[in-house]
Structure 1
Amino acid sequence: MMKDKTILSDFLVKKGDAYYCRYGDFYIDALYPVKTAIISHAHGDHASPGHLDTYATPFTVAFMQHRFPKYPREAYHIVPFDTSWELNGIRITLLPAGHILGSAQILMEYQGVRYLYTGDYKLQEDPTCESIQLVQADVLITETTFADPAVKHPDPVAEIQQLNTINNNILLGCYTLGKAQRITYLLNTYCPDKTVLLHHRMTMAHRLYDDYSPVTLRYKVYGRKDMKEGATNKVYLVPPLTFNSYFRATNVTRVFASGWARLQQHNDLSLYISDHVDWTDLLHYIALVKPSEIWTIHGDGAKLKTHLENQIAVRDILSIS
């Protein structure tokens, strides 16, 4: 315990599919309607409609407005990065998380204690979105998606350059928001002879990136004859369900961009590109934040707890009904 500071063990707790701060009476990443919600980023397992008040970064709000057009616009509160505000005596600041465009860490300051909720985050370079901003905190509330010493994410540039050796057209599965735009940028930059074709379900996210991202993406929305005519230098980006439905596709090379080994099985080439921290980056991030306590979410924190035993207290975030 720090001098003159008391960490509140129940400051943020898991309440169903949400994280709740009773001291400020607000929720983070609530997947059911609540009065006041702070959204870390626009992925569907963090952002949902129906809240009376929603606080989020400009890109996250823009994406949610397109995704949920019936949700009243006056319910949104757009909060730029590094802009602080108060909810019931708690000072809140959104900081870049480096996960996807607009993704935010949420710094909460109360009674002299700094609680940092990471959301999803990565340290790898990704010019399509804001780089992660590093701050120190007393309590780090971190995702542990890949909190395993066996997980090491390779260099994304080396991974994407593997596609330069493929002479076939490529069917590339990836998530629609964040990953697809990062892959497009990597292909544009490191596989310049490849033409990026885009599944129509990815169009909205790409066009929002065109408006908000600091980089320019080069792509073409897929047409029925594009993979059958012309040079075999095309990379067709498709969402996961579409990728799985093409299991009988011929004359294409199948790859899926992900950090998960299970999603590399049965493909023609592995493409390990992840938007989460691996074990090494997680430990590096912790060393920079210098927390007194770590509360884990989204994954299994058991190996992290064992690794940091007698150094930093690590536990799962408390749950309430």
Structure 2
Amino acid sequence: MAAPHPESWIRVTPQGLYCEPGDFFVDPALPVARAVITHGHSDHARPGHDAVLATPETLAIMAARLGEGGPRSPQPLAYGQSVTQNGVRVTLVPAGHVLGSAQVVLDWQGSRLVVSGDYKREADPTCAPFEPVSCDVFVTEATFALPVFRHPPASGEVRRLLDSVSLFPDRAHLVGCYALGKCQRLIALLRQAGWDRPIHLHGAQASMCELYGRFGIALGELRPVPRPQKRGETVLPGEIVLAPPSAEASPWMRRLADPVTAVASGWMRVRQRAKARGVELPLIVSDHADWDDLLATIAEVGAPEVWVTHGREEALIHALAGRGVRGRALHLLGREEDEDAAPEPEPEPAEGASA
């Protein structure tokens, strides 16, 4: 008997992607009894679930970010290990997006579907690299699924940042970056590029850096941004400060010495967006696959059918049709790029933190 098509056992519901024989959801947008979570970003890891299966790192991130809203019954599953739920085998493999991010491999009666979550293919010293898994249906993101989005190597963008620091030694460099994943990746890339001085953090960034440290990701010396000693004074000329992107429009940045404003995001490829935000130094550093890597990944997994979610579905589906691959837009709700989220309130300065 032929294996059942995944369309017969995986369906889209108001809560999200539902595995019917296993009776669980993947990255549900609403609270559910059983969920498998791909990674800790807030548009995938929602509060209020009962039982949650995820990597140990993702569960730790959820506990730190959600507090009492975290899963009531967390179930850690390491990469490459499997559990079976009502006959459905669930395996988590690295997605290369952020610490603990996983693809969800679902096997049922000889049929295989892979939910990639968010992923990237470029090397990242702070998380395990993406592992392609052959499958019958591949569920892919499409955040940057337009040919204009071809990301340059992140190491070159970090070199541009360091060149600017050398060029403007009397100015602080304030880099807007999302607190989970992008911040830690930038720090690691700066260390690889030879920047061994302390890196200063907005208070919203510190807790995730500490969590990365607990999982063995060395980030070097990290310090909070000090308050000026006197009214009218500024701090940190010649230093690098990392903060949520929206912090650049807040009074908080006035303490910095004539800051060069930078944002690290795949969206910085769009010059109009950088200009509209007044970004002086746009850095094209993305934690998502670009156009070429999306197409290469889909070819590598060899799925004859691809389901596309959150992003530029139409462009990717059109491109896949020309390659003989059937595409389907899932139109899942609540999926969005999280890099422009408002910063959390900054805690009072403490002594230097390291991770």
For normalisation by structure 2, the TM-score amounts to 0.83
Spell out, residue by residue over 1:287-317, the C-alpha distance to the aligned partner (whole angstroms, 9 max, x if none): 1100010011111221122222251111112
Rate the CA distance shift 1:129–1:33 in 2: closer, same or farther, 3 A: same
User: Given the alignment, which residue of 254, 262, 286 partners 2:261?
Assistant: 254
Q: Corresponding residue for 2:192? A: 189
Partner of 1:237: 242
* Runs of 5+ unmatched residues, structure 2: 334-355
Alignment of 1:289-304 (within 5 A): 289-304=301-316
Corresponding position of 1:275: 287
Q: Determine the C-alpha separation between the residues in 1 that align with 2:71 and 2:133.
A: 32
1:228 aligns with 2:234: yes
Deviations 1:182-217 (A, max 9, x none): 111112222516541011111110000001144444
Cα deviation digits, residues 239-288 of structure 1 (max 9, x gap): 12322325985711000010013652321111000000001001111111
Q: For residues 173 and 287 of structure 1, do their structure 2 counterparts lie closer, same or farther at Cα, with a shift above 3 Å needed? A: same
The letter for the 2-side match of 1:313 is: R
Name the residue aligned to 1:312. 325
Given the alignment of the two structures, is residue 6 of structure 1 paired with residue 25 of structure 2, yes or no?
no
Residue 169 of structure 1 contacts residue 253 of structure 1 at CA under 8 Å; is this kept in 2? yes
- Is contact 2:247-2:253 (8 Å) kept? no
Question: CA 1:296–1:189 in structure 2 vs 1: closer, same or farther (change >3 Å)?
Answer: same
Following the alignment from structure 2 to structure 1, what is the Cα–Cα distance between the partners of residues 279 and 251? 12
Q: Which range moved further: 38-47 or 210-219?
A: 210-219
Distance 1:17 1:183 in 2: 34
Match of 1:287 in 2: 299
Pair 1:214–1:247, CA change in 2 (3 A):
closer
1:12 deviation in Å?
A: 2.5
Cα RMSD, aligned residues only: 2.3
**What is the distance in 1 between the residues matched to 2:219 and 2:152?**
25
Q: Which amino acid aligns with 2:14?
A: G
Q: Work out whether residues 164 and 191 of structure 1, in 8 Å CA contact, stay in contact via their aligned partners in 2.
A: no
- d(CA) in 1 for partners of 2:290 and 2:105? 22
Matched-pair identity in %: 34
Distance 1:51 1:80 in 2: 20
State the alpha-carbon separation in 2 of the partners of residues 257 and 191 from structure 1. 19
2:200, 2:331 → 1: CA distance? 45
- Which AA in structure 1 matches 2:118? D
Cα displacement (A) at 1:13: 2.7
Match of 1:104 in 2: 102
Cα deviation, 1:61-107, whole Å, max 9, x if unaligned, reads 11111222224775100111111001111101000000000000000
Q: Say if 2:92 and 2:102, in contact at 8 Å, map to a contact too.
A: yes
CA contact (8 A) 2:50 2:71 kept: no
Q: Give, as a single letter, the amino acid of the residue that structure 2 aligns with 1:106.
A: V
Gaps of 5+ in 1: none
Contact 1:170 1:234 in 2 (8 A): yes
Whole-Å separation in 2 of the counterparts to 1:195 and 1:263: 30
